[in-house]
Structure 1
Amino acid sequence: MAGPKIIMHNSISLDGSFKDIEVDMGIHYGTSASFGEDVHLVGANTAKTGIEMFGGVPPEEDTDFRKPERESTVPLWALVDSKGILKGSLHVFRRFELCRDVVMLVSGSTPEDYLEYLKERDYDFIVAGEEHVDLKEALEVLNKKYKAGTVLVDSGSSLNGALLEEDLVDEISLIMMPLLTGKGTDTLFANIGKNEPIELELLKCEKLERDHVWLVYKVKRS
Structure 2
Amino acid sequence: MISQFVASLHQNGSAPATITSKLSAISFLHKLLGISDPTQSFTIQKLLLAIRKHRVPDGRLPISPPILKSLIDSLQTLTNLQYDQQLFKTMYLFAFYAMTRISEITWDANSQHTLQLANLQLPPPTEIHAPIMVRFSSFKHSTPGCSASIAIRPQHGSIYCPVSNMFEYLSLRGNRAGCLFLRSDGSPVSKNCFARKLRCCVAHLGLDIHKITPHSFRIGAATHAAQHGVSDSQLRSLGRWSSSAYSIYIRP
TM-score by length of 1: 0.28
**Structure with the higher fraction of residues in strand conformation:** 1
TM-score by length of 2: 0.26
Q: Which has the higher contact order (CA 8 A, sep 6+)?
A: 1
**Structure with the higher fraction of residues in helix conformation:** 2
User: Which structure has the bigger radius of gyration?
Assistant: 2
